[in-house]
């Protein structure tokens, strides 16, 4: 199902899924905070109510005691009515406390009601004419009002404990919700990161395949099919790239075929032209004047230069074809370097140059390579260095490697003391037929294919050649992977 979606649709779906996940977590957090806030309001309201009822109960008790004593002294029924009203209000507060405090001992409520009824009973009897009875009534009333404040204090303490219990309960619920929210947020964040990484890796894989395919097309590697996995539009892009690969391969083959044909077609009349110029210079058609001989010399030089360029063109075309057909054999690199240097001895000795080689410790005695093609690559580097080196200069080859138990990478550095490569030419120096700005004075202009052949043959070995920065001269490095 996912494979039928486009890259854009999958990207949008991934972002929406992550957004929904995080939004759901945020909404749940907001709802939880709202619920906790409401619970906090309720707890605070209940605490205030408990405190108010406890205070009202204490105040009504004081009012009851005051009115009762005034009634016994003044024998005014109004004070008894005041007592009765305060007693009823106190009973209402006591009832509210009993309902609000589940753990309130029933005995305390019963004792408070008993003492209140006792006081009311004394007041109902009225003021006694007998002093003894009067004294006993006052004693009974005194005992009742001594007991009531004690009970009020116990009820107030019970109210405080209930408030603390509810606060602890609210704090425990808050802590539980905090842990739950932390778990949800952590889980949502981890899930979002995991989903983002999964989507990113799943979607970046075909993009990496596209990048590799484009690099192979840029390196003229048309022998492997291009297949891109992933979303629908990227698979369609892969099919288009594969069509482009086939088209470029056909164009490359047509170009190579055209170069072969045109080169061979040019060589025949060019050979006849050179032969005719030679006959003219030999005087076969008659003696030549000085001006005619100068014209014949110019013709001979230009036909020779044209033939060289045609042969170089054929050689580059053959190199591009031969790079696809490797014949690896064990190659002694030190001996190969000596052979390449010795083959160009006349060229570098005629200019007073020195060519030195250095093999770092640990360099393998031999590597598996195509001896002919690797030799041509090293010879072209040496020829290029000889051409650009100043009189009496030094050319150095340094061979080193980074080895493991199974293999490693061999580095072959070629350094000269010439003018080096201009910064503007560095990126194009390996392109075929490209000539840099810094050409040696007095030398015949090159054809620009030597370094291109080096790149073709080194790439055929699975390695790469690059131009490294250097204070003076040019510094080329060949990197070849090898197995022991």
Instruction: Give the model confidence (pLDDT) of 362-376 as tens digits.
Output: 888 888 888 888 888
Task: Select the more confidently predicted residue: 314 or 88.
Answer: 88
- How many alpha carbons fall within 13 Å on the CB side of residue 135? 3
pLDDT score, position 315: 67
Q: Are residues 16 and 74 in the same domain?
A: yes
Placement of tokens 């009311």 in the chain? 120
pLDDT tens digits, 381-391:
998 899 888 88
CA pair distance 484, 405, nearest whole angstrom: 8
Which is more confident, 337 or 318?
Answer: 337
Residue 312 pLDDT exceeds 90: no
Task: Dihedral sign for Cα 302, 307, 309, 310, please.
Answer: positive
What SS3 class is residue 193?
A: helix
Whether residues 366 and 242 share a domain: the answer is no
Between CA 236 and CA 164 the distance in angstroms is 70
The dihedral over CA atoms of 419, 422, 425, 426, expressed in degrees to the nearest 10, equals: 90
Q: Is 201 exposed, middle or buried (0-12, 13-18, 19+ CB in 10 A)?
A: exposed
Give the pLDDT of residue 443.
47
Tell me if 202 is assigned to some domain: no
Q: Are 381 and 337 in contact (CB under 8 A)?
A: no
Same domain? 287 vs 409: no
Alpha-carbon distance of 458 to 319, in angstroms, equals 11
User: Does 113 share its domain with 244?
Assistant: no
Do 307 and 333 have their domain in common?
Answer: no
pLDDT more than 70, % of the chain = 83
Q: What is the pLDDT of residue 92?
A: 85
The answer to whether the CB of 450 falls within 8 A of the CB of 312 is no
Question: For residues 450 and 458, what is the distance between their CA atoms, to the nearest angstrom?
Answer: 12
The pLDDT of 443-451, averaged and rounded, is: 63
- Note whether residue 214 is domain-resident: no
Least confident among 14-18, 31-35, 369-373: 14-18
Claim to verify: residue 318 and residue 334 sit in the same structural domain: no
Place 149 in a pLDDT band, splitting at 50, 70 and 90: confident
pTM: 0.46
We report the CATH number of the domain holding residue 355 as 3.30.565.10
Into how many domains does the chain fold? 3
Residues 110 and 15 in one domain: yes
CATH number assigned to the domain comprising residue 285: 1.10.287
Are 201 and 227 contacting, i.e. CB atoms less than 8 angstroms apart? no
Residues 156 and 108 in one domain: yes
Residues 55 and 185 in one domain: yes
Q: How far apart are alpha carbons 47 and 41 in whole angstroms?
A: 10
Decide if 201 is inside a domain. Answer: no
Q: For residue 150, what are the domain limits?
A: 2-195
What pLDDT, in 10s, does the model give residues 406-428? 557 889 999 998 888 887 777 78
**Pair (318, 452) in one structural domain:** no
Gap between the Cα atoms of 91 and 88, Å rounded: 5
């Amino acid at each position: 199902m996912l494979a039928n979606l486009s890259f854009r649709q999958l990207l949008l779906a991934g972002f929406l899924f992550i957004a929904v996940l995080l939004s759901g977590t945020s909404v749940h957090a907001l709802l939880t905070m709202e619920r906790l806030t409401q619970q906090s309001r309720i707890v605070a309201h209940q605490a205030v109510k408990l405190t108010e009822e406890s205070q009202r109960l204490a105040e009504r008790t004081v009012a009851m005691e005051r009115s009762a004593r005034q009634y016994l002294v003044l024998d005014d029924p109004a004070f008894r009515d005041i007592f009765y009203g305060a007693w009823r209000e106190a009973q209402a507060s006591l009832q509210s406390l009993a309902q609000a405090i589940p753990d309130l001992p029933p005995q305390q409520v019963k004792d408070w009601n008993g003492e209140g009824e006792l006081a009311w009973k004394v007041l109902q009897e009225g003021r006694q004419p007998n002093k003894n009875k009067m004294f006993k009534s006052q004693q009974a009333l005194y005992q009742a009002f001594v007991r009531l404040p004690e009970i009020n204090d116990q009820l107030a303490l019970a109210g405080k404990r209930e408030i603390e219990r509810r606060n602890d309960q609210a704090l425990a619920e808050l802590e539980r919700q905090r842990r739950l929210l932390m778990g949800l947020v952590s889980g949502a964040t981890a899930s979002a990161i995991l989903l983002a990484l999964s989507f990113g890796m799943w979607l970046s894989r075909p993009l990496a395949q596209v990048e590799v395919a484009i690099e192979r097309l840029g390196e003229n590697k048309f022998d492997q099919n291009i297949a891109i996995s992933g979303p629908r539009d990227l698979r369609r892009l892969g099919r288009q790239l594969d069509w482009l690969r086939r088209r470029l391969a056909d164009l490359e083959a047509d170009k190579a075929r055209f170069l072969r044909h045109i080169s061979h077609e040019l060589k025949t009349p060019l050979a006849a032209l050179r032969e005719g110029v030679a006959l003219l210079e030999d005087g076969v058609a008659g003696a030549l004047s000085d001006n005619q001989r100068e014209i014949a010399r110019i013709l001979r030089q230009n036909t020779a230069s044209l033939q060289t360029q045609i042969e170089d063109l054929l050689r580059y075309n053959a190199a591009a074809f031969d790079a696809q057909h490797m014949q690896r054999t064990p190659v002694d690199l030190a001996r190969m370097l000596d052979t390449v240097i010795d083959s160009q001895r006349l060229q570098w000795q005629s200019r007073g140059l020195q060519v030195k080689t250095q093999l770092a410790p640990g360099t393998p005695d031999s590597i598996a390579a195509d001896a002919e093609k690797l030799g041509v690559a090293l010879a072209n580097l040496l020829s290029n260095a000889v051409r650009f080196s100043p009189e009496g200069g030094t050319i150095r080859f340094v061979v080193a490697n980074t080895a493991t138990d199974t293999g490693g990478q061999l580095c072959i550095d070629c350094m000269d003391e010439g003018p080096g490569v201009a910064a503007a030419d560095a990126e194009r120096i390996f392109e075929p037929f490209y000539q840099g700005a810094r050409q040696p004075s007095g030398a015949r202009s090159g054809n620009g294919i030597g370094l291109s052949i080096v790149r073709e043959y080194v790439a055929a070995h699975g390695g790469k050649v690059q131009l490294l920065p250097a204070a003076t001269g040019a510094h080329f490095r060949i990197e070849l992977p090898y197995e022991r």
